């Protein structure tokens, strides 16, 4: 069932030198995407749908869409189910600019194969045609890098495969579907952990649930799926064996950094993923000219903007859409939420929410600024205000 179509722009606005040899090649072979986000996420033990749990201030499914936004994707279909209205509204409000999203509902969760069949109803043949490709991603893998996704699509097209899997080699593959290879080292099938033999369980190459398919072979393959497995569900992974047995080639790309494909199924895994993402964010800002005395105790959300020569002391937390001007110094033990800080300002051991702090102002130590507070340029707030008496208004 189609819930809603949300066009935010035109596919003509997209540029992606990483995929395809030219813009005309991408247009000649359309690329669409499906994000599977219908599950209950019971192990999160939360009223919040699993795809909406936040990492560095952003719902994890939006991190997945951010990776897709680097590709020339003409349409993204998001399969929703549990608390569908909440997930849909979040994506409508916050999806990457220019992305065309269609929402379809998997009313009854009968496995990823069934979810993919539902998803195809959001990809009408008269728009993209059967000659295109479709990328399929789970909605709970927020660490996937755009470059890895681009490499998956490029390899799929270069080899003209019917399907291409993103795989990983793990020291401990427990719980993952094993990749079984056949003739010419092609992927012959994926065997889920609960259905695997002892010999198959010894395989360390696993499926990451990330694929690129030719659309022309996908729908017929889905119709041949059966729920004859340990879970009694329709597995999308079974499409691999269907294609292989029909004489099609199924290829693979092995991910270099296995953290990119780590799924989030509970709060412990959420914390691990957030720590990894935080490290990436901190490294990016340090390479852009921000000083962090202790990156391990510095927490910066994805929507924060920092000027050059900003200094962050231990215990700084920047949440929401903070904007920090050049040469500002924050910390130690300072938390800002949706706050703008002018150039050269110093904030020490303070909490500020939705405030505006002028250039060269001084806040703290131990100041608490209520929402809407404005500190003028050169002003001071704290136990020892300046002689001028300047302060918040």
Whether 347 and 241 share a structural domain? no
In what helix (H) or strand (E) does residue 223 lie, and over which residues does it extend? none
Q: Does 250 share its domain with 304?
A: no
CATH number at residue 335: 2.160.10.10
Read off φ and ψ for residue 362, nearest 5 degrees: -125, 125
Q: From CA 39, how far away is CA 32, in angstroms rounded?
A: 22
pLDDT tens, position by position, 199-235: 999 999 999 999 999 999 999 999 999 888 878 889 9
Residues 239-260: pLDDT tens digits? 999 999 999 999 999 999 999 9
Instruction: Look at residues 242, 261, 280 and tell me which one is the last residue of a structural domain.
Output: 261
- Check whether residue 198 and residue 88 sit in a common domain: yes
Q: Which of 192, 200, 6 is nearest to 103 (CA)?
A: 6
| Residue 178 within a domain | yes
Tell me the pLDDT of the chain averaged across its residues.
89
Tell me the pLDDT tens digit for each residue of 252-301: 999 999 999 999 999 999 999 999 999 999 999 999 999 999 999 999 99
Residue 131 has pLDDT above 80, yes or no: no
On whether residue 274 sits in a domain, the answer given is no
- Among residues 261, 281, 314, the one where a domain terminates is 261
E strands, 328-367, are: 329-330, 334-337, 340-341, 346-347, 351-353, 356-357, 362-363
SS3 238: helix
Q: Is the pLDDT of residue 9 over 50?
A: no
Does the residue 137 lie in any domain? yes
Cβ count within 10 A of residue 150: 19
Q: Is 357 in contact with 367 (CB distance < 8 Å)?
A: no
Quote the CA–CA distance of 371 and 361 in Å, as a whole number. Answer: 17
Which domain does 161 fall in, by range? Answer: 2-261
pLDDT band at 124 (very low <50, low <70, confident <90, very high): confident
Model confidence at 28, pLDDT cuts 50, 70, 90, reads low
Same domain, 166 and 20: yes
Inform me whether the pLDDT recorded for 308 exceeds 70.
Answer: yes
Catalytic residues: 43
- Domain membership of residue 207 (yes or no) is yes
Q: Which residues contact 317 (CB under 8 A, 6 or more apart)?
A: 299, 334, 335, 336
- Say if CB 11 and CB 71 are below 8 A apart: no
Distance CA 106, CA 253 (A): 29
Asked whether residue 129 is domain-assigned, the answer is yes
Instruction: Check whether residue 98 and residue 15 sit in a common domain.
Output: yes
The pairing of beta strand 351-353 with beta strand 334-337: parallel
Distance CA 355, CA 278 (A): 24
Q: Are residues 169 and 25 in the same domain?
A: yes
pLDDT in tens, 60-85: 999 999 999 999 999 999 999 999 99
Confidence of residue 40 (pLDDT cuts 50, 70, 90): confident
| pLDDT attached to residue 130 | 63
Q: Which secondary structure element, helix H or strand E, spans residue 373, and what is its range?
A: none
Task: List, in sequence order, every residue forming a beta bridge with 163; answer none if it has no partner.
Answer: 213, 250
d(CA 73, CA 16): 9
Question: 158 and 300, same structural domain?
Answer: no
Name 79's bridge partners.
36, 104
The CB-based long-range contact list for 87-92 (8 Å cut-off, 24+ gap) reads: 87/37, 87/49, 87/51, 87/52, 87/61, 88/3, 88/4, 90/52, 90/59, 90/61, 90/62, 91/6, 91/61, 91/62, 91/65, 92/4, 92/6
Residue 146, SS3?
Answer: helix
Residues 112 and 198 reside in one and the same domain: yes
Task: Assess if residue 32 is contained within a domain.
Answer: yes
Residues 296 and 254 in one domain: no
In a domain, 266, yes or no: no
The SS3 assignment for 381 reads strand
Domain containing residue 99: CATH number: 3.90.550.10
Is residue 272 assigned to a domain?
no
- pTM of the complete model beyond 0.95: no
Count of domains for the chain: 2
3-state secondary structure 249-279: CEEEEECCCHHHHCCCCCHHHHHHHHHHHHH
Same domain, 182 and 296: no
C-alpha 186 chain-centroid distance: 29
């Amino acid at each position: 069932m189609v819930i809603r179509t949300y066009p935010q722009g035109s596919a003509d606005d997209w540029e992606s030198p990483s995929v395809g040899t030219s813009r005309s090649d991408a247009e000649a072979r359309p690329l669409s995407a499906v994000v599977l986000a219908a599950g209950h996420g019971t192990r999160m033990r939360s009223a919040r749908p699993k795809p909406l749990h936040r990492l560095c201030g952003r719902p994890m499914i939006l991190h997945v869409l951010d990776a897709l936004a680097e590709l020339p994707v003409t349409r993204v279909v998001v399969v929703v189910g549990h608390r569908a209205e909440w997930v849909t509204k979040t994506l409508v409000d916050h999806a990457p600019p220019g992305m065309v999203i269609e929402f379809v509902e998997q009313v009854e969760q009968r496995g990823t194969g069934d979810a993919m069949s539902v998803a195809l109803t959001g990809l009408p043949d008269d728009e993209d045609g059967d000659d295109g490709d479709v990328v399929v991603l789970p909605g709970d893998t927020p660490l996937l890098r755009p470059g890895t996704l681009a490499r998956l699509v490029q390899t799929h097209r270069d080899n003209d495969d019917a399907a291409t899997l993103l795989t990983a080699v793990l020291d401990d593959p427990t719980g993952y579907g094993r990749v079984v290879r056949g003739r010419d080292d092609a992927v012959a099938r994926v065997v889920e952990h609960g259905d695997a033999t002892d010999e198959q369980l010894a395989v360390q190459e696993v499926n990451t649930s990330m694929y690129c398919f030719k659309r022309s072979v996908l729908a017929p393959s889905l119709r041949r799926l059966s729920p004859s497995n340990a879970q009694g569900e329709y597995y999308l992974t079974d499409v691999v064996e269907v294609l292989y047995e029909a004489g099609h080639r199924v290829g693979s790309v092995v991910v270099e950094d296995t953290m990119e494909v780590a799924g989030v199924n509970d709060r412990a895994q959420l914390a691990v993923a957030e720590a990894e993402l935080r490290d990436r964010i901190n490294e990016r800002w340090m390479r852009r000219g921000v000083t962090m005395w202790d990156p391990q105790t510095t927490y910066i959300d994805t929507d924060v903007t920092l000027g050059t020569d900003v200094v962050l002391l231990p215990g700084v937390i920047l949440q929401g859409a903070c904007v920090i001007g050049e040469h500002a110094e924050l910390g130690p033990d300072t938390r800002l939420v949706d706050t703008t800080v002018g150039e050269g300002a110093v904030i020490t051991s303070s909490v500020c929410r939705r405030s505006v702090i002028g250039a060269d102002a001084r806040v703290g130590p131990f100041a608490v600024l209520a929402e809407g507070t404005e500190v003028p340029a050169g002003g001071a707030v704290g136990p020892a205000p300046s002689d001028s008496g300047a302060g918040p208004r």
